[in-house]
């Protein structure tokens, strides 16, 4: 039996996540584990909540990380806000909208799909039409930043349309939080979830969420119990809630939360607007280089997500071989196409700490070398 410790190779992560984790975050995670009800830990939890409110731009008291990856944040929103028999409008323009549909069905509700082409933003006119055709719908769900295609949708407009028709919104901001503008309060978003391993540059495994009062009221008014015990916010809040008395719900991932705390402190130090601008400026740099190599973006310019650059693989180029050589020779990871786009595109991430000029130079030089040989 092999008993050696595991030492991962050093990589540069320019795929769809995880992104490069800053050494400060890794160092924070290696600090001594303390009890998850220790007063010192509880104080840190309060700081994490406050820093997440800053990242989401909200005063929502229910703003906290779910102890599981982004998919669990998605599930938290659906299982708490959707009851059996309800109708939910799901906008789909890539892989993750498809998962929202799965969630709706598993809640015993009926999804109404608003489909857009992969690589395009969600079309508000189509949502409006669906809202008019389905006045009995109670929730609208959409993905702000579709990581499978690199398209960014207009969350403010989609939210406003949903509210005009009396629907709550659930927003997937897994790839946008910390990388693109999000104004949870300013745009009046009801429920939103994210992930730690994309533009926050933390390790995978946590999912920040935020619910406003309207969404919480719906949770309180439920006729049926939330079918997931672990994700039932009524119970989770007994641990994460603001009251002095905290009760055991599950053992928080203590060291992972040290990491998230550090990632959020770094975001605060940089300033949210500066982080958004950095992601955009680096996208422009990478774009210029990719276009010089003759690679074409699949998303129209005004709908592009700065932190995820999807380009068409040139004819006659072997997708898997190029990615394998980038990994072997340059220790560089870029993303393959997902779903309908598998084998057709590369997805180059510029998320969080990975979004820097050194990575852009490495990626362009490595791609040029591999494509030319
Ligand atoms: C990565 C991602 C998820 C899922 O997050 P996990 O942490 O992998 O569970 C959900 N939605 C979008 C848009 C994503 O990019």
Residues 315-333 have pLDDT tens digits of 999 999 999 999 999 999 9
Any idea where the domains of the chain sit in the sequence? 12-18+272-372, 23-268
Please provide the CATH number assigned to the domain covering 12-18+272-372: 3.90.1150.10
Which residue among 17, 68, 206 is best mutated to probe the pocket of ligand 1, counting the most ligand atoms within 8 A of its Cβ? 17
pLDDT single digits (tens) 86-111: 999 999 999 999 999 999 999 999 99
- Do you find a cis peptide bond into 18, omega within 30 degrees of 0? yes
* 106-121 as b/e: b if 16+ CB within 10 A: ebebebbebebebbbb
Region 334-350 average pLDDT: 95
In this structure, are residues 313 and 346 in contact, taking their beta carbons and an 8 Å threshold? yes
Which residue among 103, 174, 176 is best mutated to probe the pocket of ligand 1, counting the most ligand atoms within 8 A of its Cβ? 174
**pLDDT score at 8:** 96
Average of per-residue pLDDT values in the chain:
96
The second-level CATH assignment, the architecture, of 23-268 is 3-Layer(aba) Sandwich (3.40)
**Which atom of ligand 1 approaches the CA of 204 most closely?**
7
Spell out the SS3 assignment of 195-207.
Answer: CCCCCCCCCCCCE
Sheet of strand 12-14, all strands in order from the earlier edge strand to the far edge? 12-14, 332-336, 345-349, 308-312
């Amino acid at each position: 039996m092999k008993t050696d410790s595991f030492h991962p190779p050093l990589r540069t992560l320019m795929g769809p996540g995880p992104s490069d984790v800053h050494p400060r975050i890794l160092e924070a995670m290696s600090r001594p584990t303390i009890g998850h009800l220790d007063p010192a830990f509880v104080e840190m939890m309060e700081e994490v909540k406050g820093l997440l409110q800053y990242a989401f731009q909200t005063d929502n008291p229910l703003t906290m990380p779910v102890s599981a990856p982004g998919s669990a944040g998605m599930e938290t929103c659906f299982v708490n806000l959707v009851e059996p028999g309800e109708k939910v409008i799901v906008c789909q323009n890539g892989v993750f909208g498809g998962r929202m549909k799965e969630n709706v069905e598993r809640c015993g509700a009926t999804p109404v799909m608003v489909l857009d082409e992969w690589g395009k933003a969600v079309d508000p006119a189509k949502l409006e039409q669906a809202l008019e055709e389905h006045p009995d719908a109670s929730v609208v769900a959409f993905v702000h930043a579709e990581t499978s295609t690199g398209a960014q949708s207009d969350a403010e407009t989609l939210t406003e349309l949903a509210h005009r028709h009396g629907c709550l919104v659930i927003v997937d901001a897994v790839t946008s939080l910390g990388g693109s503008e999000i104004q949870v309060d300013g745009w009046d978003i009801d429920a939103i979830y994210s992930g730690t391993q994309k533009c926050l540059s933390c390790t995978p495994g946590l999912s920040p969420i935020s619910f406003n009062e309207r969404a919480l009221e719906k949770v309180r008014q439920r006729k049926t119990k939330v079918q997931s015990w672990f994700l039932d916010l009524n119970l989770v809040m007994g641990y994460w809630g603001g009251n002095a008395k905290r009760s055991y719900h599950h053992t928080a991932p203590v060291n992972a939360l040290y990491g998230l705390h550090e990632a959020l402190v770094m975001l605060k130090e940089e300033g949210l607007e500066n982080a958004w601008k950095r992601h955009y400026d680096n996208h422009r740099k990478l774009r210029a280089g990719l276009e010089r190599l003759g690679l074409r973006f699949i998303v129209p310019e005004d709908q592009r997500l700065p932190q995820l650059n999807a380009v068409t693989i040139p004819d006659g180029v072997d997708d898997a071989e190029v990615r394998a050589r980038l990994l072997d020779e340059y220790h560089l990871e870029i993303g393959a196409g997902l779903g309908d786009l598998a084998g057709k595109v590369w997805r180059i991430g510029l998320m969080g700490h990975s979004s820097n000029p050194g990575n852009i130079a490495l990626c362009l030089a490595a791609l040029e070398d591999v494509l030319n040989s």
